[in-house]
């Protein structure tokens, strides 16, 4: 029996951080950093950082839904970034770091809306969630040097100061979901 692979697209700050986190989950087959949610065709990293493209740094997650669900991915997504601050994650500031879910179908849209409503109703965060939910129009894969960035550069200062602590917290909370 062949398994159907599904795709989720999330933006929650730096795509290096998000790639490192989601790559460790059981059922996740591949995580690809890229750009989406804007208006420029085939943007570069420099263009996205200029805040002139409308794109966010995002990750494309290819996953096996028989092992991990879209809701499980949403749980990790909302746990590992601040969805209440527009255009900012820690010291990373700009619209490219906004909290964003780009849905591929109506079911993903509904699940994301329900998930956010539940978080807001339960007051899981001090402030209301500002995560955008919009349809995916196009995903542009980031340049090669962004792929597997943490894996290839884990000793770099940004990786040590920003990504490594996130991974420790994530691995503690989601230890049963790790590969």
Task: Please state, in angstroms and rounded to a whole number, the distance separating the CA atoms of residues 45 and 156.
Answer: 19
Residue with tokens 């349809």: 135
Q: In whole angstroms, how far apart are CA 49 and each of 41, 108, 136?
A: 15, 28, 20
In 23-126, beta strands by DSSP E: 28-36, 56-63, 88-89, 92-93, 99-103
Residue 14 a catalytic site member: yes
Catalytic residue among 14, 17, 49, 159: 14
In the chain, beta strands by DSSP E: 6-12, 28-36, 56-63, 88-89, 92-93, 99-103, 132-135, 139-141
Torsion of CA 86, 144, 37, 106, to 10 degrees: -110
Q: CB-hemisphere CA count at 13 Å for 113?
A: 10
Whether residue 50 contacts residue 83, with contact meaning beta carbons closer than 8 Å, is answered with no
| Active-site residue set | 14
């Amino acid at each position: 029996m062949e398994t159907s692979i599904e795709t989720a697209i999330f933006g929650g700050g730096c795509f290096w951080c998000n790639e490192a986190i989601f790559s460790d989950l059981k059922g996740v087959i591949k995580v690809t950093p890229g750009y989406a949610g804007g208006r420029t065709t085939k943007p570069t990293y420099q263009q996205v950082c200029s805040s002139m493209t409308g794109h966010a740094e995002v990750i494309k997650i290819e996953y096996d839904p028989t092992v991990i669900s879209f809701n499980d991915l949403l749980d990790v997504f909302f746990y590992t970034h601040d969805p209440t601050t527009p255009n900012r994650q820690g010291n990373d500031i700009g619209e490219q770091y906004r909290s964003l879910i780009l849905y591929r179908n109506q079911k993903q849209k509904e699940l994301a809306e329900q998930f956010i409503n539940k978080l807001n109703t339960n007051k899981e965060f001090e402030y209301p969630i500002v995560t955008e939910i919009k349809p995916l129009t196009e995903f542009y894969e980031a340049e090669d040097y962004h792929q597997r960035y943490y894996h290839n550069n884990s000793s770099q200062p940004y990786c040590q100061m920003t990504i490594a602590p996130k991974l420790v917290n994530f691995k503690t909370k989601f230890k049963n979901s790790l590969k």
